[in-house]
Chain A
Amino acid sequence: MSVWREVVGQEPALAILTKAVADPAALTHAWLFTGPPGSGRSVAARAFAGALLCPQGGCGECRECRTAVDGTHADVDIVATEGLSIKVDQARDLVQLAARRPSVGRWRIIIVEDADRLTEHSGNGLLKAIEEPTARTIWVLCAPSVEDVLITLRSRSRQVRLRTPPVEAVAALLVERDGIDPAMARYAARAAQSHVGVARRLARDEGARIRRRQVITMPMRISGVGDAIGAASDLMAIAEEEKEGALTERNTAEKERLLATLGADPAARTQPPHIRSQLAALEKEQKTRATRFTRDVVDRTLVDLLSAYRDALVLRTQAPVALVNEDTMDTVSGLARAFGADGLLRAMTAIGTARERIAANVPPLLALEAMAISLRVPR
């Protein structure tokens, strides 16, 4: 067993990190983990924290290792934004935290999961703490790529590049860790394009597989503008369904916890003002999270959709590359026949534009409609 067990297919990065753990005297205090979505930035950051805190350098079994990985270690702080950006006062809290000595372990480790969501303001707030760190504080910033992080921050941290793990490595993890049937694990890993979290959901949840299939088989049905508008609204509905499944339970649990902490009577028809305001704050936060979550789910859906056109292009050009959607060959070969190579590339650009617009806060439905209109199958 090792604390690195879930860090899949990242040998070059592991070499750097294990070496760092082995020589604490030379330890860098600010790290920047970069890698595409699904490369496991957060998993790697937690494992790194575990390895630093573990008396044996990352046995994977001890209390330090386990709590670091599941995010409950007292000296490991994981900052995950649900909003679209990290706020200045949040950064200020982090700076204060960073100044404190670790409470139980050797190090205090602060993991910022979305360092790309630091604004100019909040990022510069962190700067001093990162530049002149307390002796026992380690920062781990995570972002999709170096370019996404403020230049002031990236120039002061050591970069570790994570890559998209090979499909086989992800499948093996699903078999070994989650006890998933090997054939299902291979399908899920390939369909998820090596995104570990998505692969696990696909392997375990039939609803997720059905939704993905609905997305992949959609393109051949878009011929007129009316179909395009319909397809966009279907994509939105699929994303909403996915969101409901993921967030409902969590929101309820949070509300319960809050009411219990406040000693409030959940049945009261109207709560006293101070409780009402806290509830309203929670609901607002949950709404923000839902908005971001919907955007993320829609983006994920577009990655799936993109894979159908990409497969069609692979098929057309007979490139010796494995297909993502071997199980939906009807759509893939249909697209390859209906579009020329140019047309497929234009479709892929339209999907990319939609992703960019959604990331910039354009209402997802509108962005999807404009995209779907560009995806009309030529007659």
Chain B
Amino acid sequence: MSETVAVAQRVPPLVLIHGPESILIERALSQVAADLRLAQPEIEISRLSGVAYDAGTLPMEASPSLFGEARALIIRDADEGSEAFQTDLLAVLPDASEDLVLVVVHKGGARGKKIVDALKSAKARVIDTPAIKTDRDKQDFTTNEFRRAGRKATPDAVRALIEALGSDVAELASACQQLISDTTGLIDEQVVMTYHGGKVEATGFRVADAAIAGDAAEALRLLRHAIATGLDPVPIVAVLASQLRQLVKVGAAGRGRSADLARDLGMAPWQIDRARRALSGWSGDALGHCIQAVAAADFEVKGGGRDPVYAVERAILTIAAEHGR
């Protein structure tokens, strides 16, 4: 992500955008296009794709133009290209120059690996666009979103945002954009809650926190309130499961710095610290029992039982009762 900062760079003849995360790919492409235009306002940018590629198109596009103006070719989906596409692309790579910039997007995977290798050994600039999967990735992404816009967000705000919207990166990105454009000043947890606190995941986290702390009454109150306002129990169960899972992982990982653990477990450092605090009063066996109760509840919620709400309540009671055992 380090390459996506909004400082114009001189674009080398070969650029490889490598990785599957579409939101980062789009960012990288618009950054490269902007940089190209800044350096050479007259540059002609054309686009083609490895999908449904007609053999011979690339050499034709790459051949010198009549008036010798500078051109850039953005080639998407190199990982989806046919043999003919790969052969053509490898053949035109040596033609890249200041006047013919080739920007290749490869979303990863084994197909078209030759292209990636060739670009790397030809000293292409590599912009990595890795999948945003773990909460740690999401934290980096979110923090960077605010930083790019010159805004500051507190760690609690970032956490609340990921809890509420983290299941979908595109949604997370647009929530960041919304906060950037609709608010001013420091973005703290209160601001996030005002905008996104009603999301069912956010409720799920409050229910889970109370249950795991052993506070059955509070957990049940929050759950009933959520159900009464029409929220679906399914995502609440999912949050219960994910929170218990994190506790087991952090508990099993033993001592060590939060930052190191965060990297190993794909969690955000604050999640490690919070899990460690919550872990007092918990044994591995008790957590195991809780996960089994949540799995049973999920099955009942999905139609295996008569009363889904009762199933979730029972799981919550089990969790609260296992605390401190």
Contacts and interface: CB of A to CB of B under 8 A. Distances in A.
Interface of A: 224-230, 244, 248-249, 252, 255-256, 259-260, 266-269, 356-357, 360-363, 366-367, 369-370, 373-374, 376
Contacts of B294: 366, 370
Contacts of B249: 226, 229
Given A363-B241, A367-B295, A268 B47 contact: yes
A268 B52 CA distance: 12
Interface stretch (B4-12, B90-98, B219-227, B284-292): B284-292
Contacts of A376: 288
Given A369-B291, A370-B291, A229 B248 contact: yes
A361 B51 contact: no
Nearest to A252: B80
A361 B301 CA distance: 10
Contacts of A259: 51-52
Contacts of A374: 292
Nearest to A361: B302
Given A225-B284, A226-B284, A363 B238 contact: yes
5 contacts: A255-B51, A259-B52, A266-B53, A357-B304, A362-B298
Contacts of A369: 241, 245, 291, 295
A66 B252 CA distance: 57
Nearest to B246: A229
A356 B303 CA distance: 12
Given A229-B245, A256-B52, A373 B298 contact: no
Interface string B233-256: 000001001000100110111000
Nearest to A260: B52
Contact of B252 (A225, A244, A363, A366): A225
A194 B209 CA distance: 48
Nearest to B53: A266
Contact of B295 (A230, A244, A361, A362): A362
A373 B284 CA distance: 10
B45 to A, nearest CB: 10
B241 A252 contact: no
B51 A252 contact: yes
Given A369-B291, A370-B296, 15 more contacts: A225-B252, A225-B288, A226-B251, A227-B252, A248-B109, A255-B80, A266-B48, A266-B49, A266-B51, A266-B52, A266-B77, A360-B299, A366-B241, A367-B298, A374-B292
A231 to B, nearest CB: 12
Contacts of A229: 245, 248-249, 252, 291
A230 to B, nearest CB: 8
B20 to A, nearest CB: 11
Contacts of A373: 288, 291-292
B51 A225 contact: no
Contacts of B253: 226
| Nearest 9 A/B pairs, CB to CB | A226-B252, A370-B295, A266-B49, A267-B48, A225-B288, A225-B284, A267-B49, A267-B47, A373-B288
Identify which of B51, B253, B304 gathers the most chain A CB atoms within 10 Å of its CB: B51
Contacts of A256: 51-52, 80
B111 interface: yes
A269 B303 contact: no
A226 B248 contact: yes
A268 B298 CA distance: 43
Interface string B93-125: 000000000000000010100000000000000
Contacts of A363: 238, 241, 298
A146 to B, nearest CB: 22
A248 B111 contact: yes
B76 interface: yes
A206 to B, nearest CB: 14
A373 B296 CA distance: 13
Contacts of A367: 295, 298-299
